[in-house]
Amino acid sequence: MRPQFPPTPMLRMLPYRKPTEGRDYWLFDDVLPNADRVRERCLGKQDWALGFPHTGESWPGRRAIPALDAEELTQVEARVMQATGTRKLWVQPTPDGKTLNHNCVQVVGKHEAGPRPHTDSLALCRYAGVLYLNPDAPQECGTSFYRQRMPNGQLGGNLVTRPHTNLVEALGTRFVPPNSFVEDVRIPHKFNRLLVYSAALIHTATAYCGSVLADERMAAVFFWMS
């Protein structure tokens, strides 16, 4: 007799490292002197690429590049290098010629997406950054670090380590049952706050907000190799 359901894949338990400020993530409040201007510039963009639900893309909302101009980006990178003790940051070219969404402004509404725990590719970045650009977004629209919850309820890890470069490789499967991850540490949304974190940690936007461009969650995202 054939089994009625496919067998549940064995999920590996990842290593756990409590996300700790100054070691695994860094916060820079009031990071830009002209964040209002950056927001205005982003609101005026006409060249948005549209994602779900406007198109068949899997990524939600809308996005456009660049978010920051060269001088703004230089200011931000100087702060990140100083805080992380990194001498050099660079943007890794993608092997297939695709665009890495570095220095990309992303606008996502409440009904366009929910939390999606993931890690960023270790092959493409070591640090990820998110700069919150909506002065009226609720605090719970920041970023959360998640960790595993194993099928027996035991809490698992949150870190992708070499030789794996992404969560699918690290878990050993693309198919994870619902509720396989739980929120661990929440970073509140704050206008003009930059959160930088180790891209190997499981993370997600905590929530999205709004229903039109002006009140949706607006954030610039960065992916740096070092």
Q: Which residues of this protein are in contact with Fe ion, per CB under 5 A? A: 120
Strands laid side by side in the 203-205 sheet = 181-187, 143-148, 203-205
CA 153 to chain centre: 26
Cβ distance to Fe ion smaller for residue 72 or 120: 120
Cβ distance to Fe ion smaller for residue 120 or 216: 120
Q: Are 172 and 1 in contact (CB under 8 A)?
A: no
Q: Are 76 and 173 in contact (CB under 8 A)?
A: no
Cβ distance to Fe ion smaller for residue 37 or 116: 116
Torsion sign over Cα 135, 139, 145, 147: negative
Q: How far is the CB of 51 from Fe ion (least distance, A)?
A: 15
Q: How far is the CB of 128 from Fe ion (least distance, A)?
A: 5
Q: How far is the CB of 101 from Fe ion (least distance, A)?
A: 10
Torsion sign over Cα 46, 51, 54, 57: positive
Q: How far is the CB of 175 from Fe ion (least distance, A)?
A: 20
Cβ distance to Fe ion smaller for residue 112 or 120: 120
